Amino acid sequence: AQSVTQLDSHVSVSEGTPVLLRCNYSSSYSPSLFWYVQHPNKGLQLLLKYTSAATLVKGINGFEAEFKKSETSFHLTKPSAHMSDAAEYFCVVSDRETSYDKVIFGPGTSLSVIP
């Protein structure tokens, strides 16, 4: 069975410092993994995705994530936080079933950026 764990419900960083949002998953297959960002009262925007190609994935706005199969992790990082990065971040796992993709969201991590 699938599951997604985001180890921190809330992360607070100072502007200009690195960001680390942690995600661990369990899956019976070889999943696709995604990070989505949600700004207040907005929809969900794809940051980046892992689909069994390169294990280090680069996304939009300077974010990247590394897939580590041995650790079942897909942590999201950014070298230098910007005020506009303050948002909710969701780690998502997708397993391909016979006729559909089973998509599970993590509980989310709220990122605050302090000026």
Partner 1 sequence: AAGVIQSPRHLIKEKRETATLKCYPIPRHDTVYWYQQGPGQDPQFLISFYEKMQSDKGSIPDRFSAQQFSDYHSELNMSSLELGDSALYFCASSSFTGSVTGELFFGEGSRLTVL
Task: Name which position in 22, 49, 77, 86 contacts partner 1 (CB under 8 A).
Answer: 49
Task: Name which position in 87, 108, 111, 113 contacts partner 1 (CB under 8 A).
Answer: 108
> Which of 1/115 has CB closer to partner 1?
1
How far is residue 80's CA from residue 66's CA, in Å, rounded to a whole number?
Answer: 17
| Residue 44 found at the interface with partner 1 (CB under 8 A) | yes
Among 93, 91, 6, CA closest to 51: 93
| Residue 22 found at the interface with partner 1 (CB under 8 A) | no
Residues contacting partner 1: total by CB under 8 A: 26
| Residue 70 found at the interface with partner 1 (CB under 8 A) | no
* Residue 91, CA distances (Å) to 28, 71, 87, 110, 115 in order: 17, 15, 13, 12, 26
| Residue 67 found at the interface with partner 1 (CB under 8 A) | no
* Residue 42, CA distances (Å) to 12, 31, 37, 71, 88 in order: 21, 27, 9, 32, 10
How far is residue 23's CA from residue 108's CA, in Å, rounded to a whole number?
Answer: 9
Among 74, 65, 69, CA closest to 30: 69
Task: Name which position in 11, 13, 27, 36 contacts partner 1 (CB under 8 A).
Answer: 36
| Residue 102 found at the interface with partner 1 (CB under 8 A) | yes
Q: Which residues bind partner 1 (CB under 8 A)?
A: 32, 34, 36, 42-46, 49, 51, 90, 92, 94-97, 99-108
